[in-house]
């Protein structure tokens, strides 16, 4: 296998592009007109398409994994001024992670985390 792309439904590609490029700093890999594909910093790709009727925003979670707790905190401070709904970063003892959740413009749940062990 060379790579992996996970595709999700988008209702507004312009807003999706602004969010993932300008706020999350992901590089656009390919614009296919109906689909935008972003590179996940060499760890696969994530795509958003207007024609994916089977993917519902409430049934997905895209997780961004960081190496350090301060990187998660930095992203939290950046996002809290950009999104309407965001949880406070918390320690999850069960999974030994530090994380928080928010939503993208299409309502997909996004998790930002670091593994602590």
- Residue 99 DSSP one-character state: E
Encode pLDDT of 32-52 as tens digits.
Answer: 999 999 999 888 999 999 986
pTM: 0.84
Strand 97-103 relative to strand 45-49, pairing: unpaired
Q: Tell me the residue range of the domain where 20 lies.
A: 5-115
> Measured between alpha carbons, how far is residue 19 from residues 3, 14, 16, 78, 104 in Å?
23, 9, 5, 12, 7
For residue 57, the domain's CATH number is: 3.10.180.10
pLDDT in tens, the chain (117 residues): 578 888 898 999 999 999 999 999 999 999 999 999 999 988 899 999 998 666 566 667 899 999 999 999 999 999 999 999 999 999 999 999 999 999 999 888 999 999 998
Helical ranges in the chain per DSSP H: 13-17, 69-79
Nearest to residue 50, comparing CAs of 16, 13, 103?
13
Q: What's the domain count of the chain?
A: 1
């Amino acid at each position: 296998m060379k790579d992996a792309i996970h595709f999700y439904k988008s209702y507004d590609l312009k807003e999706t592009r602004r969010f993932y490029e300008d706020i999350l700093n992901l590089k656009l890999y390919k614009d296919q007109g109906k689909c935008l594909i972003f590179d996940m910093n060499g760890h696969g790709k994530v795509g958003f398409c207007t024609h994916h009727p089977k993917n519902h925003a409430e049934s997905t979670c895209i997780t961004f994994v960081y190496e350090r707790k301060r990187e998660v905190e930095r992203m939290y401070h950046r996002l809290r001024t950009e999104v309407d709904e965001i949880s406070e970063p918390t320690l999850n003892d069960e999974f030994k992670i530090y994380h928080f959740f928010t939503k993208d413009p299409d309502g997909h749940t996004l998790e930002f985390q670091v593994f602590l062990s």
